[in-house]
Amino acid sequence: MSRNYNVAVVGATGAVGVEMIKTLEKRNFPVANLKLLASARSAGKTAEFKGDKVTIEELTHDSFKGVDIALFSAGGDISKEFRASVVKSGAVMIDNSSAFRMESDVPLVVPEVNPEDVKWHNGVIANPNCSTIIMLVAVAPLHRAKKLRRMVAATYQATSGAGAKGMAELIEQTRQLLNNEPICPKAFAHRIGFNLIPHIDVFYDNGYTKEELKMLNETRKMLHDDSIQVSCTCVRVPVLRAHSEALNLEFENEITPEEARAILSAAPGIQIVDDPAAKLYPMPVEAAEQYDIQVGRIRQDISRNDKKGLDIFVSGDQVLKGAALNAVQIAELL
- In Å, how far from its chain's centre is CA 305? 35
CA atoms within 13 A on the CB side of 207: 3
Domains and CATH numbers, the chain: 5-127+324-333 (3.40.50.720), 132-318 (3.30.360.10)
Residue 144, H or E segment: helix 130-146
Contacts with 88 (C-beta within 8 Å, 6 or more apart), sequence order: none
pLDDT for residue 75: 93
- 58, 78 contact by CB (below 8 A): no
Strand partners, 131: none
Q: So what's the pLDDT on residue 2?
A: 74
- C-alpha distances (whole Å) from 164 to each of 15, 56, 240 are 6, 19, 10
| Contact (Cβ atoms closer than 8 angstroms) between residue 282 and residue 244 | yes
Consecutive sets of 10 residues in the chain, 334 residues long: mean pLDDT of each?
90 94 98 97 96 97 98 96 98 97 97 98 97 98 98 97 92 98 97 98 98 98 98 98 98 98 98 98 98 98 98 97 97 96
Residue 94: strand, helix, or coil: strand
> Residue 310 class from Cβ within 10 Å (0-12 exposed, 13-18 middle, 19+ buried)?
buried
Q: Tell me if 67 sits within 8 A of 6, measured CB to CB.
A: yes
Q: Which helix (H) or strand (E) holds 168?
A: helix 164-178
Do residues 161 and 318 lie in contact, with contact meaning Cβ atoms separated by under 8 Å? yes
Residues marked as catalytic: 130, 243
Record the pTM: 0.95
DSSP states along 6-53: EEEEETTTSHHHHHHHHHHHHTT--EEEEEEEE-GGGTT-EEEETTEE
Q: Report whether 268 contacts 114 (CB < 8 A).
A: no
Return all residues near 138 (Cβ < 8 A) that are at least 6 apart.
247, 264, 270, 293, 295, 312, 314
